[in-house]
Amino acid sequence: MKGFVSSRLHPLLTLLLLVGLVFAGWCVGLLLTFAVCQFAYEINMLEVQRIMTQPATSPYGWAIIMLVQGATAYLGFVGGGLLLPTLQGASLSSYFFPRRRIPVGWLLGAMVLVLASLPLMTAIMEWNTNLHLPSFLTEWETEARATEARLQELTRFLTRFTTTGRFIIALVVIAAGAAIGEELIFRGVVQRQLTRLSGSPEAAIWLTALLFSAIHFQVLGFFPRFILGLVFGYLYLWSGNILVPMAAHFTQNAFQLVLLYNQQRQWTSTDFDPDSTESMAWYWVVASLVLCASLLWSLRRRMLAYPIAEEPTEMHTLSSGGVAAATAHAASGGRTLNHHGVDATKL
């Protein structure tokens, strides 16, 4: 299928187009938010903007902020991520799912991996918290930490689950929306384009993880999120299916929401503190490290050894670098993925 934009567009221009599509999605989402607020709450645009900066001052603050979050995730990230390959004439399945049929065990393994990493992440979080930048960046660090404190206050407000309905909405918006949207954008598009640019899937994974962590603007959580980005990136490279990192990402988000909801409902006794930056006991950290390393090794071995399913018009093969897809006939206009994960080499 011929697209409006060439799939051979330079990777940097493709990423610039992606930014434009995401921004356009955000604008549409904000306009819809203003319209919904006017219709449902009879609140004008200026009042909505005020509530967005001070949500606790309005009885509709939680709903409005969550509506903005949902519009950002689904219209901005998901919409932009899906629209880009469509504009380039690529099918979504071949773009995001070059290895379309995967064992359910891969999804479960990715989810277990994230849960197993939690003790290890507490140690990395504590180290990250106590890490300080060079003296000439002290002013910037102070401002960054202040900004992060404000973001944490907003997070606490959004995760105050006074009803079951709020918890379910948070799962759909905060857990699922972020997992789907961010994986489509970062692993599905950015990692692919950086692979084209650098010629190295490993370099693309590390650069994408760096961008993934930096865009959250959280100094205290930079390194834990960077490591998670690496894990998500390698899971996508090995599996060739965006659903695998999505499953891992969703588990990371949802599990924290479940712990918060459990704590607020006091169903079970727990000492979980969402704002804590203290590491768990060393033996839990070591056990987590060993278990995560074992799971990663097992997943990589199984994913790279799994036979690729053949499609009627496209034959998939596996190379040493991950998933590779070779078209049955170059003249058919199909796309290929080489051992670096580069797309669209023949049109």
User: Tell me: the pLDDT tens digits for 192-211?
Assistant: 999 999 999 999 999 999 99
Number of domains in the chain: 2
The predicted pLDDT at position 309 comes to 56
In-domain check, residue 316 = no
125 and 70, same structural domain?
Answer: no
Contacts of 35 (CB under 8 A, 6+ apart): none
In-domain check, residue 336 = no
- pLDDT band with cut points at 50, 70 and 90 for residue 316: very low
Closest alpha carbon to 102 in 326, 331, 309, 312: 309
| Span of 19-28, 97-106, 280-289 with lowest mean pLDDT | 97-106
The predicted pLDDT at position 291 comes to 97
256 and 214, same structural domain?
Answer: yes
**Mean of the per-residue pLDDT values of the chain:** 84
In-domain check, residue 311 = no
User: Please, are residues 214 and 205 in contact by the beta-carbon 8 Å criterion?
Assistant: no
Between 176 and 343, whose confidence is greater?
176
287 and 175, same structural domain?
Answer: yes
What is the Cα–Cα distance from 227 to 242, expressed in whole angstroms?
Answer: 18
Q: Which of 34-43, 179-188, 219-228 has the highest mean pLDDT?
A: 179-188
Tell me, what DSSP letter sits at residue 279?
P
The predicted pLDDT at position 278 comes to 84
Mean pLDDT of all residues in 174-190 = 96
120 and 53, same structural domain?
Answer: no
> Which of 275-305 are b and which e, b meaning 16 or more Cβ less than 10 Å from the residue's Cβ?
eeeebbeeeebeebeebbeebbeebbeebbe
Closest alpha carbon to 36 in 22, 48, 50, 51: 48
In-domain check, residue 339 = no
What is the Cα–Cα distance from 209 to 212, expressed in whole angstroms?
Answer: 5
In-domain check, residue 211 = yes
241 pLDDT exceeds 90? yes
233 and 113, same structural domain?
Answer: yes
193-to-99, 110, 202, 208, 314 alpha-carbon distances in Å: 18, 24, 13, 10, 22
3-state secondary structure of 71: helix
User: Please, are residues 347 and 333 in contact by the beta-carbon 8 Å criterion?
Assistant: yes
What is the Cα–Cα distance from 47 to 70, expressed in whole angstroms?
Answer: 19
298 and 165, same structural domain?
Answer: yes
The predicted pLDDT at position 145 comes to 79
158 and 50, same structural domain?
Answer: no
> Radius of gyration (Cα) for the chain, nearest Å?
21
88 pLDDT exceeds 50? yes
- Looking at this protein, which amino acid is placed at residue 227? I
In-domain check, residue 331 = no
In-domain check, residue 110 = yes
Mean pLDDT of all residues in 287-296 = 97
Which of 306, 321, 340 terminates a domain? The answer is 306
115 and 82, same structural domain?
Answer: no
The predicted pLDDT at position 263 comes to 86
In-domain check, residue 341 = no
What is the Cα–Cα distance from 235 to 183, expressed in whole angstroms?
Answer: 11
Report the percent of the chain where pLDDT is more than 70: 85
The predicted pLDDT at position 336 comes to 41
- List the structure tokens of 24: 């356009």
The predicted pLDDT at position 144 comes to 78
Which of 61, 90, 119 terminates a domain? The answer is 90
pLDDT digits (tens, 9 = 90+) for 38-75: 998 888 888 888 888 888 888 899 999 999 999 989 99
pLDDT digits (tens, 9 = 90+) for 124-139: 999 998 887 788 878 8
- pLDDT band with cut points at 50, 70 and 90 for residue 97: confident
107 and 2, same structural domain?
Answer: no
- pLDDT band with cut points at 50, 70 and 90 for residue 34: very high
Supply the range of the domain harboring residue 181.
98-306
- List the structure tokens of 216: 């959250």
The predicted pLDDT at position 100 comes to 64
241-to-52, 59, 178, 207 alpha-carbon distances in Å: 36, 42, 17, 20
271 and 166, same structural domain?
Answer: yes
250 and 182, same structural domain?
Answer: yes
The predicted pLDDT at position 136 comes to 81
116 and 70, same structural domain?
Answer: no
What is the Cα–Cα distance from 282 to 231, expressed in whole angstroms?
Answer: 22
pLDDT digits (tens, 9 = 90+) for 7-30: 889 999 999 999 999 999 999 999
